[in-house]
Structure 1
Amino acid sequence: MKALFFGRISLFFCLLSGFALASSCSKKESDPVASDSVMDFGPGVGYSPRDASNRAIGTQDPTDWTLDNQWNAKEAELFKSLALNVNDRPIGTASMSGAYPNPATASVRLSWSTPEAAQHDFVIADQSYQAIIGNSSSTPSFGGSSTFNLSQNSAFKRGQVYRVYYIFHNGKTVYYKGHGDIKIAE
């Protein structure tokens, strides 16, 4: 009787341990290298609200407009035309001012600066990693701004959040890369 009791207890703990091990091995949704089919826009509202003068007007998303070390396969695919490894270790820095206004109505503006001249590429993608519009430079610069006209593209839906990916590079060398999220005003 005692052996049967301890056998059942042992079986119970083995099953419990196996379940705990299996669940700890799965990728979490917040893992930046996970290959989920729908992106996670981060905490809170999922974007950093800013007015038309680029002043913060609410809680800012700490994952926006910062360095991304690794991109998942779907993110890397957005920049396949660059013929460089977007997951190479970035060697520089950049200052991103964020997107403004955010939420955006007709257009959204991005401004940046880099201590070294670099080419830039931007892609705005939907939550399924489908590129909607992009912008790139063939001439290296120390900074600048880009304005995306959102009102002339029917792919942008009111009230939806989209991701802006950016990469600064010198030839095949990744200088800096990251993302930020924008919302289309309702």
Structure 2
Amino acid sequence: MKYRYFLPILMFVLVAQSSCRKETPADGTGITDKIDASRITTTDALGNITHDIDPTDWTYDTTWAADERAVITNPLAAQLANMETGVVSIYPAYPNPLRDKVTFSFKNTRQSLLQIVIVDRFLQVKDRFFFTTTPGSSSFTFELDEEKYINNINYRMYYAFFSQADGLYYKGHGDLQVKR
């Protein structure tokens, strides 16, 4: 009679232990996700928010983990010549989900260097772009190559604004979903 609670307790412990283990990804790589890009801010072809909003997307990020910061390369001194610290406003990328192209729009009060890096959930760099921004509103459209970007997968776009005096002065991210 004193063992009647033993079996239920043993079952509870075994179930709790198995639910705490990290599972090996289905892709067989043994690598677990480094970022959570599962939520997006949905937008239409004109940039209007249409449904879901991820409040962490398309804003200023106060901190990045060390491996996130590592995807951003330090610009060369020549790239930073005449670049200034501005006031930046970011808009959600559109359309999102996207088929093959996405547009990133923002406002900046000064000429700055903008670096955009698109990564997968393992922080593997898919694309990197550098642009010199001009004061005012700007938009850049990127084509996401079918060979690099898998259908029905989410990716993260990091953006980093640099100036000659302050280096990296504005940073953030947004998650993108490819739907072909």
- Relative to the length of structure 1, the TM-score reads 0.68
Cα 1:37–1:75, aligned 2, differ >3 Å: closer, same or farther? Answer: same
* Equivalent pairs, count: 140
Partner of 1:69: 62
- Relative to the length of structure 2, the TM-score reads 0.71
Match of 1:129 among 114, 123, 132: 123
Which amino acid letter does the alignment assign opposite residue 56 of structure 2?
A: T
Alignment of 1:15-26 (within 5 A): none
Report deviation, 1:124. Answer: 0.4
Alignment of 1:35-114 (within 5 A): 37-41=33-37, 46-82=39-75, 93-114=87-108
Report deviation, 1:48. Answer: 0.4
Q: Give ranges in structure 1 of 5+ residues lacking alignment.
A: 1-35, 85-90
Which amino acid letter does the alignment assign opposite residue 38 of structure 1?
A: K
Q: Give ranges in structure 2 of 5+ residues lacking alignment.
A: 1-31, 78-84
Deviates more, 1:58-67 or 1:74-83: 74-83
Partner of 2:143: 149
Could you tell me whether the CA contact under 8 Å between 1:118 and 1:175 is conserved in 2?
no
Find the aligned partners of 2:51 and 2:162 in 1 and give their Cα distance. 32
Find the aligned partners of 2:93 and 2:57 in 1 and give their Cα distance. 10
Which amino acid letter does the alignment assign opposite residue 89 of structure 2?
A: S
Find the aligned partners of 1:37 and 1:181 in 2 and give their Cα distance. 14
| Percent identity of paired positions between Structure 1 and Structure 2 | 31
SS of the residue 1:74 aligns to: helix
Partner of 1:115: 109
Which amino acid letter does the alignment assign opposite residue 185 of structure 1?
A: K
Report deviation, 1:177. Answer: 0.7
